[in-house]
Amino acid sequence: MGCYGDAFATTPNVDKLAARGMIYTHAWSCAPVCAPARTTIISGMYASSTGAEHMRSMVPFPAGKKMFPQFLREAGYYCSNNAKEDYNLVQPGLVWDDSSRKAHWRNRKPAQPFFAVFNSEKSHESKLRVRPHRQLHDPAKVRVPAYHPDTPEVRQDWAQYYDIVTEADTDAGERLKELEEAGLTEDTIVFYWADHGSGMPRSKRWPYNSGLQVPLVVYIPDKFKDLHPPEYKPGGKSDRLVSFGDFAPTVLSLAGIQPPDWMQGHAFLGKFLEAPQPFIYGFRGRMDERDDLVRSVTDGRYVYLRNYMPHKIYGQHIDYMFQTPTTRVWKQLHDEGKLTPAQDIFWNTKAREELYDLQSDPDEVNNLAASPAHQKIKTRLHKAQQDLARKIRDVGFLPEGELFSRADGGSPYDMGHNDGQYPFARVFEAAELASMLEADAVPELKQRFKDNDSAVRWWAALGMLTRGENGVRAAHGELAAALKDNSPYVRIAAAEALGRYGNDADLKQALNALVELGPIGKMPLTCRVCSKICRRDSSQSGGSGSLSPRSR
């Protein structure tokens, strides 16, 4: 965007708004994909706390709590949303006076105060691949980030992304014009933001700065100067760290409503302005059809990522992402061995920790996690990430299915705050042991196969899976026994470990365990666990049959 110093961008309407208002230079969406990001906004709680971090999931809302527009409606505001909701939380009663394509502040009662949200979908990821497309920005002049290969397809996608951001800016201009024509410009506080980082691969879906940083422009008319933060001035900028978790308490604060204590964000404007925070946070859970667990944190300069499933590659195959031409050509060049080291990282298994200096490395390709000179910084950020997980009792460390089974019809948030249902400390400790890949953690992980909590046992099995052949050798007996565990998630993790890294007998047992979990009749089974195709052997007796492998 032009107001952020990008001379290639064409965003005149938001630039004009920024000249009258103020931009935030460090704003994070918390999630790098729309639904969990918007869920964090509407609730004022991290989706990793409410159990709503997984893309397009749906969980009950925490008992006794509300979505923030409900507080505004109770205070007399007309609340409209046009029109995208896309929350992963069940709405606790009537949230909006109107949420539809026709929703508008004009539909309120005369002189009624209003809170209105307008969504432009012009810059959505799907618009990147619309062809034919009328080009506004020259692909030859686009800057290709260091993690992307410099090809015609990539340049086309980046240039088209600039084009569709311009279209979204046009929408913003129309909304601002409506206020002006109604004589409400100097009576209305305006926020402009995006719901996550760019729609390009490795930005969207990934909790780097590239996937989480959003533009945030705020205009507060002079008549409301008592609601200004100390740093507010027209055409100015704030380096305060803000995130989507802060939006709900901030809007309530602007309306003179004291945010409830259970909201996890911090008001950065208004009557109940809070002190600046030292960190902001991000998270990644299941993205469409692919499981993952990543947590990130920044202090504004350094970005730290903690990968709890380092056995998975960064660029897991997600069908929707692979519809973008950049993704396909990027993967093709990896397969052909034609990428630079920085470009090739995305198609390999993850580091357990990542640390980037945005000042010297804005594209986040030089991982400083092992740098002796940066250990204090890494330790400080890792501690901040752990402290937040403990504070909010992050339920993302459970298998997704257990968010529901343990909650037993209630909300994962409420379950997560009951130590009898979710022994967080034990589960979190097991997750750290499993994923930091320290050799001396193996004996402790083997002991955790005996824990009475299934999530602890799941992490024990994942810990051996992440260690590959060494892990399977070290805990072969425990993994074999885990194939009969009463938790399907433990059985799946053990089966993947034995199927990938065990012998032929292990492979057969692992596949049989998976078939028992998901009956397939006599249909062929193509398994991503290994490079073999297996089929039900109809000559075997027993209800579930067995599988006999054959070479691809």
Query: Cis (ω within 30 of 0) for the bond into 495?
Result: no
Residue with tokens 């209003």, as numbered in its chain: 114
- 35: number of CA atoms within 13 Å, CB side? 19
34 as an active site residue: the answer is: yes
> Are 445 and 434 in contact, with CB atoms under 8 Å apart?
yes
> Are 57 and 86 in contact, with CB atoms under 8 Å apart?
no
**DSSP category for residue 543:** S
Q: Which of 34, 79, 527, 534 is catalytic?
A: 34
Rounded to whole angstroms, the Cα distance separating 550 from 533 reads 6
Rounded to whole angstroms, the Cα distance separating 496 from 504 reads 13
What backbone phi and psi angles, to 5 degrees, belong to 122? -65, -30
Name the CA dihedral angle for 131, 137, 142, 144, rounded to a multiple of 10 degrees: -30
Rounded to whole angstroms, the Cα distance separating 15 from 143 reads 21
DSSP per-residue codes, 289-346? TB---EEEEE-SSEEEEEES-TTSBTT---TTGGGSHHHHHHHHHHHTT-S-HHHHGG
Per-residue b/e over 59-81, b at no fewer than 16 CB within 10 Å?
bbbbeebbbbbbbbbeeebbbbb
DSSP per-residue codes, 69-82? HHHHHHTT-EEEEE
Q: Where in the sequence numbering do the catalytic residues fall?
A: 34
